[in-house]
Amino acid sequence: MYRYFIRRIIQAIPVFLGVSLITFALFFIAPGDPARLIAGQRADPEVLALIRKAWGLDQPWWIQYFLFLGRIIRLDFGRSFKTNIPVLESILERFQATAILALFSFIIAIGIGVTAGIISAVKQYSAFDYIAMIIALLGVSAPVYWVGIILLLIFGFNLGWLPLGGYISEYGLKAVILPAIALGTRPAAYFARLARSSMLEVIRQEYIITARSKGVPEKLVIFKHALRNALIPVVTYAGMVVGDLLTGAVLTETIFAWPGLGRLTVQGILDRDLPVIQGTVIFIAFIYIIANLIVDLSYALIDPRIRYE
C-alpha cells in the first residue's frame, strides 16, 4: 500500500518538471523583450542591461530554466508588471474564491449527476431515463457561460431571487448559488452518463444475479451490492472534473464577476502581465496534477486490485 503511494508520488515528479519546462519554454519563446516588459518600453539601455543581469536574462536558456525552476520551488512567481504585488499573493487570495466555487459546483455535480445516473440505470428505458439522458447530453453540449447568462436572466433579473454577480463578502452564500450551478452543469451531465453506464454494467454481473436469486431485497442489492462497485469509475473521473472546473471557472467567473483565479488570468492576459499569466497557468496545472494524484491514491484505497498490480 505505502509502496504504491510512494511510487505514485515519485511518478508525479517528472510531470511537475515537464509542466514547468513547457510553461518556461512558452514564455521564453514569447515575442517581445522581457527586460523591456519589466522596465517599460522607453527604459535606458543601461537599465535594461542591469535588469537582464539581475533576472539572469543574459544567461543561456537552460540556466534560465534552472533559475526559473528554483524560483517556482520556492513559490516565487515574481511580481506583477502592472501592480507590483507579488504574484503568489494575488494567486492565493484569488484561489480561495475559485476553490469555494469549484467545491460547490462539485457537490452539485456529484449530487445531481450521480443520483440521476443511478436512477436512470435502475429504471433503464423508462421516461425518466430518456429525459435525464437527453438533458445530460444537452448539458455536456451547453457552454458554461451561456448557462450562466440564462440563470442570471431568470433568477437574477426576472425573479430577483439571487444577486447578479459579486462575491460572498457582499451577498453571503447566496452569491455562490448561480455560478456553482452554471459551472456544475457540465460535470453533472458527465457524472450522470458515467454513473448510468457503470451501474448498468455492474447490474449485469453474476454476483448481482446471485444476490437477487437468494432473495436479497432489491433496495439492498442496488445500494449495497451494486452501487459501491458502480462508483469506482465515477471516482476516477473526479480528477478530470477538477480540470473541467478550473477551466470552466475562467469563463464562469467572467460572467458572475467572481473574484477568482480565472478572472486574474484573463485580466493578466488583457494587461499583457506575463508574470501573472505564467504564475496562474503553472499554479492551475499544479493543482490539477495534485488533484489527479489524490484521485489515483484514493482509487487505490477503494479498489484493492489497483495496489496489487
In the complex, which residues of this chain contact other proteins (CB under 8 A)?
14-15, 18-19, 22-23, 26-27, 30-31, 137-138, 140-143, 145-146, 149-150, 152-153, 157, 243-244, 246-247, 250-251, 254-255, 265-266, 268-270, 272, 274, 277, 281, 284-285, 288-289, 292
**CB neighbour list of residue 136: distance below 8 Å, 6 or more residues apart:** 113, 116, 117, 188, 189, 190, 192, 193
Give the Cα separation of 118 and 223 in Å (integer): 10
Burial class (CB within 10 angstroms; exposed 0-12, middle 13-18, buried 19+) of 141: exposed
Closest approach, Cβ 210 to other proteins, in A, equals 25
Closest to other proteins by CB, 40 or 143 = 143
**CB neighbour list of residue 158: distance below 8 Å, 6 or more residues apart:** none
Closest approach, Cβ 14 to other proteins, in A, equals 7
Closest approach, Cβ 243 to other proteins, in A, equals 4
Closest approach, Cβ 165 to other proteins, in A, equals 11
Closest approach, Cβ 85 to other proteins, in A, equals 19
93: left (phi over 0), alpha (psi -120 to 50) or beta: alpha
Burial class (CB within 10 angstroms; exposed 0-12, middle 13-18, buried 19+) of 101: buried
Closest to other proteins by CB, 18 or 40 = 18
Q: How many residues does the chain have?
A: 309
Closest approach, Cβ 162 to other proteins, in A, equals 15
Closest to other proteins by CB, 185 or 225 = 185
Closest to other proteins by CB, 110 or 274 = 274
Is the distance from CB of 48 to CB of 295 less than 8 angstroms?
no
Query: 85: which DSSP letter?
Result: -
Is the distance from CB of 127 to CB of 149 less than 8 angstroms?
no
Is the distance from CB of 182 to CB of 255 less than 8 angstroms?
yes
Going 124 to 128 to 131 to 136, the CA torsion angle's sign is negative
Find, among 254, 107, 262, the residue nearest to 177 by Cα: 107
Closest approach, Cβ 183 to other proteins, in A, equals 13
Q: 10 Å Cβ neighbour count for 145?
A: 16
Closest to other proteins by CB, 50 or 128 = 128
Closest to other proteins by CB, 229 or 265 = 265
Closest approach, Cβ 253 to other proteins, in A, equals 11
Closest to other proteins by CB, 23 or 236 = 23
Q: 10 Å Cβ neighbour count for 153?
A: 12
Closest to other proteins by CB, 225 or 236 = 236
Is the distance from CB of 298 to CB of 128 less than 8 angstroms?
no
